[in-house]
Amino acid sequence: MSISVQHITIDRSEKLKAFYELLKPRLSFLVVFSSGFGFLLGNQLAINWFNLFGFLLGGFLISGSSVTINQISEREFDSVMNRTKNRPVPSGRISTNEASWFCIVTGLVGVLLLIVTTNTLTVGLSILSLVLYAFVYTPLKRVGPIAVFVGAIPGALPPLIGWAAASGSLSYEALIIFGIQFIWQFPHFWAIAWVSDDDYKRAGFKLLPGGGTKDLNTAINIMIYTLFLLPLGLLPSYFGLTGLTSGVVATVCGALFLAQTFSLMKDGTNQKARRIMFGSFIYLPIVQITFLLDKL
């Protein structure tokens, strides 16, 4: 596929808006939220607010750098998909050269902030997350659904990174909150891929499991991974990281999330897949906030 992405001239305010869009702020703020959750859950001392702010800002910038690299790499594919053709690079509002410098600056500033406010483990995990997302997951999207497995790793690292920033080490508790977010990625990714299947096929992206089609097999895969969230959601209570209340809330949220997958198995419509997608957005923050409040 060879598609030229033209550069257009826009005024300064529109240019700044385009640079802000490059950061994919909704995604990057979700990263910050999960990182902050991990930090607060793993923190055993009085909170150093300067370090916490520097850590969250650094994480936001590193996340923004990684998604900018993703947009540079996929600019030709983004230009043929309805959901992405108006992004800053394929629309020509930001040139490839400008986006390249932007990702370098944001990435370096983000890493420097983490060096100043956290520790070596946090910096290393953050760089690993960027590399996996931008340089491994991104090209694998045109290879096959293995991309979802790889992409789930950097997608689940934020709470682990937050724990490392707070404690300077990792523990089985940190691996539990990583595991919950890791498994959550699969129904989340596949629901998005189901809804956007036509767009993804135009770009040559292969994210759905099995035969890569919107069929009962894919719906069953989504159901199975959602089912795993039920026992995983109980582990923080079982190991004493949180109390019983959070286990009950996680179970109820997991059961409601799971119920959506049965509807998809029944009729396989985009509407039901969209409900799973929105359900995934609701499930994770509610469960994480409940874990945090139950610890306090």
160 & 175 share domain: no
Model confidence band, residue 2 (pLDDT cutoffs 50, 70, 90): very low
74 & 194 share domain: no
* Structural domain total, the chain: 2
185 & 163 share domain: no
Tokens of 213: 């089609």
Which domain, by its residues, includes 159? Answer: 11-169
User: Which pLDDT value is given to residue 3?
Assistant: 44
Give whichever of 13-22, 103-112, 202-211 has the largest mean pLDDT. 103-112
In-domain check, residue 4: no
185 & 164 share domain: no
Alpha-carbon gap, residue 150 to 173, rounded angstroms: 22
In-domain check, residue 223: yes
User: Which pLDDT value is given to residue 12?
Assistant: 84
182 & 152 share domain: no
- 24: CATH: 1.10.357.140
Each residue's pLDDT tens digit, 36-69 = 999 999 998 788 999 999 999 999 999 999 999 9
133 & 158 share domain: yes
Q: Of 169, 196, 217, which marks where a domain is finished?
A: 169
In-domain check, residue 2: no
Alpha-carbon gap, residue 272 to 263, rounded angstroms: 6
179 & 149 share domain: no
In-domain check, residue 71: yes
Q: What single string gives the DSSP state of each residue in the chain? A: -----------HHHHHHHHHHHT-HHHHHHHHHHHHHHHHHH--S---HHHHHHHHHHHHHHHHHHHHHHHHHTHHHHTTSTTTTTSTTTTTSS-HHHHHHHHHHHHHHHHHHHHHHS-HHHHHHHHHHHHIIIIIIHHHTTT-THHHHHHHHHHHHHHHHHHHHHHSS--HHHHHHHHHHHHHHHHHHHHHHHHTHHHHHHHT---SSTTSSSSHHHHHHHHHHHHHHHHHHHHHHHTTSS-HHHHHHHHHHHHHHHHHHHHHHHH--HHHHHHHHHHHHHHHHHHHHHHHHHH-
Q: Of 169, 189, 214, which marks where a domain is finished?
A: 169
Model confidence band, residue 170 (pLDDT cutoffs 50, 70, 90): very high
Residue 80 contacts residue 147 (beta carbons within 8 Å):
no
Q: Of 120, 136, 169, which marks where a domain is finished?
A: 169
146 & 233 share domain: no
In-domain check, residue 3: no
Does the model's pTM come out above 0.85? yes
pLDDT > 60? residue 7: no
84 & 31 share domain: yes
Mean pLDDT of 191-210: 92
92 & 193 share domain: no
In-domain check, residue 5: no
69 & 176 share domain: no
In-domain check, residue 180: yes
Say how many C-beta atoms besides its own lie within 10 A of residue 295's C-beta. 16
176 & 219 share domain: yes
In-domain check, residue 1: no
